[in-house]
Amino acid sequence: MSLKRTGSALLAAIFLVAGYPLPAFSQAYTLPRLAVIELHYPGSSPDLTRQLTDEVRKKLKDSGRLDLLSRSRTSAGLASLSGTGEAPKDLGIVIKDGEERYFQMDLDTAKFRLGKRLSEAESGRIKPEEVPLLSKGYLLLGMIQLVLNEEAKANRSFEESILLTPSMKLTLDDYPPKVISHFEAARQRLADRGSGGSLVIRSSLGKGEVYVDGVGRGKAPVELTSLQPGRHYVSLEGEDYRVPVKVVEVSNGPKEVDLSFEGGPASEVLGITLTSSDTLEATRRASIAGQWLGVDYVALVDVITHVLGISYLLTADRFPEPPQNPKPDRRKKEGGSA
C-alpha cells in the first residue's frame, strides 16, 4: 500500500507489520485485526506522527478489509504496559506454572513468580479479562505460603482471594484440611470487619459496562453498596473503547471513582518510545504490544522529516512468535519470514 500527497515536508512513515498466531480470545473475528501504533524516538516529531497515524487509521478503517482496533482501545491497552513496553506474563499461564511447581514441590520458584505477577496486578498492570483469575491466583499463593510455614502471609493471600470471590467454597475432595481451615478463618476475619463500603462509579465516556472484580455490575453510572473493605478491581468497557483496570481501595464508607482516560486525550498512550531508531527493537516491542492488545497485526508509524512532500509506505513481515533479544546460551533459529 502506498499513499502520497505533496506538501512542504517529506514524511517517510514506515509501517512495520508483525503477524503471529492468533490469541485464543481473538478467534471470533472474521476479519484480520490490526492496531496502528505510533513509534517515537529522539529526533522524531510527535505531533506529525500523531496526525499521520490518525489519517492512516481512517484510511485503513474505510477500506473495510480490516477489523481496526479503535484509538481508545489501543490507548487503554498500551497504558497497561510498563514504560519500557514489556507486557507482564499472562496470569493464567503463571497460575498453571505455579500449580505444576506446587505439586513438584518447587515452592520457592512458584512463590516468586506468582507473587511477582500478583504484585503487578495490584499496581494495575492487568487486563480486564484476567481479573476473574486473581482469586485463584491468591488461593494458590496462600497454599504455597502455608507449606513454607509463612502462615501470616498465607492468611493475607486467602483474604484477598475471598474478597474477590466471596462465594468461593473449598471441599475436602480438592484441598487439604489445613488449607480449608485457614481459608475459612480468613472468611470469618473479613466478615468481622463488616461490609459497609460503597462505591459510585462514573464515566465521561458514556454508558459503558462497569466491571468490579471481573463481574459486570451494569451501565455507568453505577452505585454499589455493602462492599467489603479492601482492594477491588474496576474497569469500564464500551462499544469502541476499554478503560484500563483501576485498582480501588474501599473502606467502610463511600468512595467515588471516575473511569475515564485520566487527563483527557493529551494523556493517551498511543505509541512506543525507543532510545534510538532500532528496527529490531521496534519489531520486538510491536510484537509484545500486539499480543497484549489481542490483535493479529501491528502497524508502526515512524515519521522522519525531509524537504519535498509527504509519502508513506506500508510493508509487512510475518513472525511465528514475538522476536526476543538474543541470548548467547539459548539461540534458536525460527522459520523464515513471509
pLDDT at position 30, please?
Answer: 61
Own/partner long-range contacts of 281-286 (Cβ < 8 Å, ≥24 apart): 282/16, 282/39, 283/16, 283/18, 283/317, 283/319, 283/323, 284/322, 284/323, 284/324, 284/325, 285/85, 286/16, 286/18, 286/37
**pTM for the full predicted model:** 0.62
Query: How far is 67 from 295, CA to CA, in rounded Å?
Result: 9
Q: Decide the pairing of beta strands 2-6 and 309-318.
A: antiparallel
Which pLDDT tens digit goes with each residue over 26-48? 334 467 788 888 877 776 667 77
C-alpha of 210 from chain center: 17
**How much is the mean pLDDT over the chain?**
75
CA nearest 98: which of 116, 80, 121? 116
What pLDDT score was predicted for residue 70? Answer: 78
Highest mean pLDDT among 1-15, 141-155, 212-226: 141-155
The domains of the chain are located at 2-69+268-318, 91-192, 197-258
CATH number of 91-192: 1.25.40
- Quickly tell me which residue has 503471529 as its cell: 20
Interatomic CA distance for residues 170 and 163, integer angstroms: 15
